[in-house]
Amino acid sequence: MADDETPSQTQESSTAREFSANGTSMSTSDVEAKLDKGNIEEAESSLRERLSLNSEEARTLLGRLEYQRGNVEAALRVLDGIDLQAAIQKLQPSSQQAARLVLEGFYLKVKSLQKLGKFAEAAQDCANILDAVGRIFPQGIPDAQVESKLQEMISKAVELLPELLKQAGNYQEAMAAYRRVLLNPWNLDNDCCGRIQKAFAVFLLHSGLEAGPPSLGAQADGAYVPKNNLEEAILLLLVLMRKIHHGDIQWDPSVLDHLMYALSLCSQTPVLSKQLEELKPGVFHRTERWNLLALCCSGVGQNKAAMNLLRKSLHINERPNDLTALLLAAKICSEDSQLAAEGVGYAQRAVDNAKGVDEHLKGVGLRMLGLCLGKQAKVSSSDFERSRLQNEALKCLDSALSFEQDNPDIIFELGAHYAELRNLNAALRFAKKYIDITGGSVMKGWRLLALILSAQQRFTEAEVVTDAALDETGKWEQGPLLRLKAKLKVSQSRPMEAIETYCYLLALVQAQRKSSGPMKIDSQVEDDKVKEFEVWYGLASLYSSLSHWKDVEVCVKKARAMKQYSAELVHTEGFMHQERGEIQEALASYINASLLDPFYVPSKVRIGALLSKLGSNSLPVARTLLSDALRIEPTNRKAWYHLGMVHKDDGRLADAIDCLQAASMLEESDPVENFRSIL
Amino acid sequence: MSSSNPGSPSATATSSSSASSFSSKAHSCIQALSSILSTVPSSVSSSSSLLHDPTVSSQISTLLRDPDSGSGDNNLCRWLYDTFHSPDPELKLVVLRFVPIVAGIYLSRIALRKSLAGFEAILLALYAHETTARDGQPISVNVPDLTQPSIYHEAKSSVKTQATELNLAVISPTLEPHGTMRSSRRARIVGVALELYYSKISQMPVSSKLEFCEFCDIWATGIQNKPSSSSSSKQKTILLPWELLQPSLRILGHCLLGAHKSKKLYEAASMATKSLYERSLHDIDAKAILATSSLLRLEKMALDPKLNVDHTEIDMSLAL
């Protein structure tokens, strides 16, 4: 900083400066003239005479004048004339006024050193100030007995010390200083304490240096002590938010943003939601608050809550064109067929609003639109509407791809859609591209490819793909691939090998259930049960196709231990009855399965098939059930076949031919597992 | 600045015998490096000078960007691998310095079906180091409930609960050992390497952090935002699952809001954060949107002079 700069840093008029003390005042002009010529002693004696000051008082005023005028080095020179070190040693607890003067002089020196970039020296001197204060008030600073200007100076020194250490690059000492400042009683006011806490929290979050837990001795006493930087930062930020809620300090948006950052990293956005909810109205515009809350909910999968908030904020009278909210709403809707129609609306609005700087999001909007349309198609009530929606969905996804050629998600979704429509060649192209682009790191890509190959009846290649996928997958995630492999072996009429695969998978699943003992959370335990259930159920189906009924019974029992009420298991038992000729029991089981799960298609198909053989009175019922099955799963070839037979028995030959043709076409392109299990 | 992380010992050697053995290790390392690089300045004589020397770093970076750099027989990869296995922790830091560029180039080349065994060996070595250091424990953070008093606040807690109500958030789950790079575990392995890099970031030179910001841009949007970049072609973006995104966000937070003074790093981090924000909108990833948007707002606030008043400034009155 240039020595002859004169910044105007005072609130009073900068041109006419005045000293005042002991009831008198004088203009600074001739003192300034003396200082400019370097006559510090003369300036000092002139001041002492006119204002009846002692040497230290005069020097302090001169130092301040030079500092104000921007002559920082000169200020230091002036202050060198007082023996601050000795003065500080002589401080008594009794005389606060004298203490204040000396400490102010010292503080001026500290600030001057800071302005000159001599941070380490400044920090050392600042620490000396705090030590001196500690000597004046050995029991800590009492509340009301400190003279206000002294307190002001102490507060500034306390706030400055850690900053100086940071500026000097002594991060470890800065951490220690922050703690010294915050964990001891300095009688700081709320604002000052708040600023220091915030600065410490930011330092903890971003300095990149682990502070280690604080050493506290007796202070702990049942209070929560954070163990690492992130914990300590989050604690401090929550404390600050509490002060804001109570009105102890003013609203500071950066506190919330730091907390948002920290909590998102920890996936603890519900805690953030609570903070947002506690803020008084007016801090945020209500739509902004709803959108932030929706993001917090969505971040942890609380989709229903998120949608409720987004519906409010996207209402026509609020902010219906907010692109982020529209995309988020569309995404949540695209995952639930009951919400898909609503999602189409949001996605379309997103596409319409992706203009100007947001144009890059148009492809995303189109992708969401495609997904929502595809999901909507699944619950459509008529064939005509279903195919219309599916075609539109494909068009949207194609369009999205033109905006984002390398977006792996769009490529996968196109592959899955084409597969469901049984356009297997197109599906294959996309599935291969997806694996290339993602380097084979996502399992669903491998599964899609294997299923498409199996639908094309290329079983050996499908198995090769599955084996390649198994190589690239960690042990604990291999479950779905092994199940797929077993089914492929069944399709190739190698049931014994299929059983072997299932047994291997069973061992894996059981090992996983027993490992990672007590640290398991509930959802993990449930997950493991589901996995084991699937293995036993798979084995049951397999034995069922081989007519090994004793083995089927054993497997069903084991599966039931994992999941008591399962439509699949009841259905398997039904099949067993049917094959043994126990038709009434079979029918009862199938009906029970349908009651357990109204969307379980195989049971509907079987009931329809059985009823169609019971005489012409049951044909209408059979037809209803089979049509219902086809509504849920339009590519179920058995349903088409039996429906065709029903039409034939009822004399509607043209319809029968249509259905049987459909069944035949589907048989040629049936994958070993339903394509729906992919999306 | 010494690190207090128990996973890796303090950077200063403790006894003279280990000091001399470390310095001889550093010597042999530097010697080996001289046969790979074209010039190694004579000022580079110890592990810390190796860490900070700009000529050595830029040569290594250039070689790593070479189209065939990641293969199994590449001698630079071999050198990095061997150096990381040295017992001298400062030499490990030298290897860590290159994590952004190794991870960045590795992930960008996955789709190209090249041999990347050299890079994979380095990344697996870093992963194995962390697996041993963490000893089967996840890294978790307790998000406190303010109804319990803490060292920073008081609260009227009616029941003295024993800390059973801990709200533990796992920020890095338990590591399973991996001897080979399986595609499905790739993101996790690279993510752990980034976590290790972050744990030592206060000791990393600015050039390393700049490289990280550069790769963040490429990962997120495929566009290299360096003004001096020779190739302006659009590169492919990569899949950014949370395992990669989370450590990246922590590193960027440090580059953007940490107490360093480099204006260049600040600008690079700012661009990288914008890229990640756009990418999070593309993927409609709620957590990432929250984290990146908050960083962008904080950056704006840090530049606003009205919000950055110096409260420690001296009272300017000339009255006693």
Are A265 and B250 an interchain contact pair (Cβ–Cβ within 8 Å)?
yes
Distance set, CA B76 to CA B73, B79, B80, B90, B121 (Å): 9, 5, 6, 18, 12
Point out the domain boundary residue: B203, B228, B249.
B203
3-state secondary structure (DSSP) of residue A613: coil
Domain assignment present for residue B183? The answer is: yes
B211 and B139 co-located in one domain? no
Reply yes or no on whether the pLDDT at A143 is more than 80.
no
User: Does A22 lie at the interface with B, CB-CB under 8 angstroms?
Assistant: yes
Highest mean pLDDT among A73-82, A424-433, A538-547, B177-186: A424-433
The pLDDT of residue A74: 86
Residue A444 pLDDT grade (very low, low, confident, very high; cuts 50, 70, 90):
very high
Residue A217 pLDDT grade (very low, low, confident, very high; cuts 50, 70, 90):
low
B169 and B287 co-located in one domain? no
Amino acid present at A481: L
Separation of alpha carbons B161 and B172, rounded Å = 27
Amino acid present at A263: L
CB A457 within 8 A of CB A476: no
Distance from CA of B187 to the nearest CA of A (A): 8
The pLDDT of residue A663: 94
Considering only alpha carbons, which residue of chain B is nearest residue A19?
B318
Point out the domain boundary residue: B173, B203, B233.
B203
Residue A406 pLDDT grade (very low, low, confident, very high; cuts 50, 70, 90):
confident
Are B301 and A271 an interchain contact pair (Cβ–Cβ within 8 Å)?
no
Interacting residues of A413 by C-beta distance below 8 A, sequence separation 6+: A367, A370, A371, A374, A397, A679
User: Does A274 lie at the interface with B, CB-CB under 8 angstroms?
Assistant: no
Task: From chain B, pick out residues whose CB is under 8 angstroms from the CB of A298.
Answer: 286
**Element containing residue B77 per DSSP (H, E):** helix B75-84
**Element containing residue A394 per DSSP (H, E):** helix A383-403
The pLDDT of residue A9: 41
Domain total for chain B? 2
Residue A120 pLDDT grade (very low, low, confident, very high; cuts 50, 70, 90):
very high
pLDDT digits (tens, 9 = 90+) for B78-88: 999 999 998 88
Number of H helices, E strands in chain A: 33, 2
B209 and B169 co-located in one domain? no
The pair of three-digit structure tokens given for residue A289, joined into one six-digit string: 């608050």
pLDDT digits (tens, 9 = 90+) for A643-654: 999 999 999 999
B192 and B215 co-located in one domain? no
**Residue of A246, A257, A269, A332 to mutate for B, most B C-beta atoms under 10 A:** A257
Separation of alpha carbons B167 and B145, rounded Å = 8
The closest CB to that of B171, out of A257, A265, A360, belongs to A265
Domain assignment present for residue B22? The answer is: no
Tell which residue, B141, B130, B261, B148, has the closest CA to residue B194.
Answer: B130
B174 and B280 co-located in one domain? no
Interacting residues of A148 by C-beta distance below 8 A, sequence separation 6+: none
B236 and B278 co-located in one domain? yes
Q: Which domain holds residue B107?
A: 67-143+165-203
Separation of alpha carbons A476 and A19, rounded Å = 79
Helices (H), A582-618: 583-596, 601-612
B218 and B179 co-located in one domain? no
Is beta strand A18-21 parallel, antiparallel or unpaired with respect to B168-172? Answer: unpaired
The pLDDT of residue B7: 42
Are B287 and A438 an interchain contact pair (Cβ–Cβ within 8 Å)?
no
Separation of alpha carbons A678 and B169, rounded Å = 30
DSSP state of A515: S
The closest CB to that of B298, out of A9, A51, A257, belongs to A257
Point out the domain boundary residue: B187, B203, B219.
B203
Is beta strand B168-172 parallel, antiparallel or unpaired with respect to B139-142? Answer: antiparallel
Residue A286 pLDDT grade (very low, low, confident, very high; cuts 50, 70, 90):
very high
Long-range contacts of B167-170 (CB under 8 A, 24+ apart): B167/A268, B167/A271, B167/B142, B167/B143, B168/B140, B168/B141, B168/B142, B169/A266, B169/A267, B169/A268, B169/B140, B169/B141, B169/B142, B169/B143, B170/B138, B170/B139, B170/B140
B181 and B130 co-located in one domain? yes
Residue A220 pLDDT grade (very low, low, confident, very high; cuts 50, 70, 90):
low
Reply yes or no on whether the pLDDT at A560 is more than 60.
yes
**What is the CA B253 to chain-centroid distance, rounded?**
11
Torsional class of A442: left (φ above 0), alpha (ψ -120 to 50), beta (otherwise): beta
Distance spanning both ends of chain A, measured CA to CA: 65
Interacting residues of B4 by C-beta distance below 8 A, sequence separation 6+: A172, A209, A210, A211, A212, B10
pLDDT digits (tens, 9 = 90+) for A521-559: 667 777 788 888 989 998 999 999 889 999 999 999 999
CB B138 within 8 A of CB B172: yes
Reply yes or no on whether the pLDDT at B233 is more than 60.
no
Task: From chain B, pick out residues whose CB is under 8 angstroms from the CB of A365.
Answer: none
Task: From chain A, pick out residues whose CB is under 8 angstroms from the CB of B112.
Answer: none
Distance from CA of B113 to the nearest CA of A (A): 8
**What is the CA A660 to chain-centroid distance, rounded?**
50
Domain assignment present for residue B16? The answer is: no
Amino acid present at A589: S
**Residue of A192, A265, A327 to mutate for B, most B C-beta atoms under 10 A:** A265
The pLDDT of residue A476: 82
The closest CB to that of A254, out of B259, B284, B298, belongs to B298
The closest CB to that of A261, out of B5, B187, B294, belongs to B294
B194 and B211 co-located in one domain? no
Task: From chain A, pick out residues whose CB is under 8 angstroms from the CB of B187.
Answer: 441
Reply yes or no on whether the pLDDT at A159 is more than 60.
yes
Domain assignment present for residue B104? The answer is: yes
pLDDT digits (tens, 9 = 90+) for A313-361: 999 999 999 999 999 999 999 999 999 999 999 999 999 999 888 888 9
* Mean pLDDT value across chain B: 85
Comparing A628 with A221, which gets the higher pLDDT?
A: A628
User: Does A353 lie at the interface with B, CB-CB under 8 angstroms?
Assistant: no
What is the longest distance spanned by two Cα atoms in chain A?
A: 127
What is the longest distance spanned by two Cα atoms in chain B?
A: 77
Comparing B145 with A519, which gets the higher pLDDT?
A: B145
CB A346 within 8 A of CB A311: no
The closest CB to that of A271, out of B1, B143, B281, belongs to B143
- Give the number of other Cβ atoms within 10 Å of residue A179's Cβ: 18
Are A170 and B1 an interchain contact pair (Cβ–Cβ within 8 Å)?
yes
User: Does A61 lie at the interface with B, CB-CB under 8 angstroms?
Assistant: yes
Percent of chain B topping pLDDT 90: 47
Separation of alpha carbons B84 and B29, rounded Å = 10
- Give the number of other Cβ atoms within 10 Å of residue B101's Cβ: 21
The pLDDT of residue A29: 82
Poorest-pLDDT segment among A144-153, A369-378, A387-396, A444-453: A144-153
Domain assignment present for residue B318? The answer is: no
User: Does A239 lie at the interface with B, CB-CB under 8 angstroms?
Assistant: yes
The pLDDT of residue A15: 57
**What is the CA A136 to chain-centroid distance, rounded?**
50
Domain assignment present for residue B3? The answer is: no
Task: From chain A, pick out residues whose CB is under 8 angstroms from the CB of B141.
Answer: 228, 230-231, 234, 266
Handedness of CA A141, A144, A145, A151 (dihedral sign): positive
Domain assignment present for residue B158? The answer is: no
Complex ipTM: 0.90
Task: From chain B, pick out residues whose CB is under 8 angstroms from the CB of A362.
Answer: none
Helices (H), A144-285: 148-167, 171-183, 190-206, 229-246, 253-265, 269-278
Backbone angles phi, psi at B158, to 5 degrees: -75, -35
Domain assignment present for residue B54? The answer is: no
Distance set, CA B176 to CA A75, A661, B118, B124 (Å): 62, 52, 22, 12
The pLDDT of residue B103: 95
**Element containing residue A18 per DSSP (H, E):** strand A18-21
The pLDDT of residue A359: 87
Are A107 and B314 an interchain contact pair (Cβ–Cβ within 8 Å)?
yes
User: Does A64 lie at the interface with B, CB-CB under 8 angstroms?
Assistant: yes
Residue B13 pLDDT grade (very low, low, confident, very high; cuts 50, 70, 90):
very low
Are A209 and B110 an interchain contact pair (Cβ–Cβ within 8 Å)?
no
* Mean pLDDT value across chain A: 88
Is beta strand B139-142 parallel, antiparallel or unpaired with respect to A18-21? Answer: unpaired
User: Does A53 lie at the interface with B, CB-CB under 8 angstroms?
Assistant: yes
pLDDT digits (tens, 9 = 90+) for B141-154: 999 888 888 888 88
Separation of alpha carbons A104 and A48, rounded Å = 18
Amino acid present at A61: L
pTM score, two decimals?
0.89
The pLDDT of residue A236: 95
The pLDDT of residue A10: 41
The closest CB to that of B278, out of A239, A360, A471, belongs to A360
Amino acid present at A267: S
Torsion over CA of B249, B255, B258 and B264, rounded to 10 degrees? -160
User: Does A264 lie at the interface with B, CB-CB under 8 angstroms?
Assistant: yes
Distance from CA of B40 to the nearest CA of A (A): 29
**What is the CA A244 to chain-centroid distance, rounded?**
25
The closest CB to that of A436, out of B4, B111, B297, belongs to B111
Tell which residue, A332, A403, A338, A340, has the closest CA to residue A367.
Answer: A403
The pLDDT of residue B101: 94
The closest CB to that of A474, out of B185, B258, B298, belongs to B185
Reply yes or no on whether the pLDDT at B66 is more than 80.
yes
Taking the CA of residue A449 as centre, how many other CA atoms within 13 Å lie in the half-sphere pointing to its CB?
Answer: 25
B196 and B238 co-located in one domain? no
Compute the average pLDDT of residues A264-290: 93
Reply yes or no on whether the pLDDT at B8 is more than 50.
no
Backbone angles phi, psi at B168, to 5 degrees: -85, 120
Reply yes or no on whether the pLDDT at B234 is more than 70.
no
Are A472 and B257 an interchain contact pair (Cβ–Cβ within 8 Å)?
no
The pair of three-digit structure tokens given for residue A482, joined into one six-digit string: 């092994």
Comparing A379 with A87, which gets the higher pLDDT?
A: A379
Poorest-pLDDT segment among A217-221, A325-329, A628-632, B272-276: A217-221
Q: Name residue, tokens 């050299």.
A: B118
CB B317 within 8 A of CB A290: no
The pair of three-digit structure tokens given for residue A259, joined into one six-digit string: 């907390």
Are B258 and A298 an interchain contact pair (Cβ–Cβ within 8 Å)?
no
User: Across the A/B interface, how many CB contacts are shorter than 8 Å?
Assistant: 255
User: Does A97 lie at the interface with B, CB-CB under 8 angstroms?
Assistant: no
Reply yes or no on whether the pLDDT at A2 is more than 60.
no
Separation of alpha carbons A578 and A584, rounded Å = 8
**Chain length of chain A:** 679
Q: Name residue, tokens 């090769």.
A: A464
Separation of alpha carbons B80 and B96, rounded Å = 9
Are A296 and B297 an interchain contact pair (Cβ–Cβ within 8 Å)?
no
Task: From chain A, pick out residues whose CB is under 8 angstroms from the CB of B201.
Answer: 208
DSSP B227-272: TT-S--PPPPP----HHHHHHHHHHHHHHHHSS---HHHHHHHHHH
The closest CB to that of A64, out of B160, B256, B318, belongs to B318
3-state secondary structure (DSSP) of residue A21: strand
Compute the average pLDDT of residues B58-74: 89
Comparing A668 with A518, which gets the higher pLDDT?
A: A668
B108 and B174 co-located in one domain? yes
Poorest-pLDDT segment among A61-75, A376-390, B188-202, B203-217: A61-75
3-state secondary structure (DSSP) of residue A548: coil
B192 and B76 co-located in one domain? yes
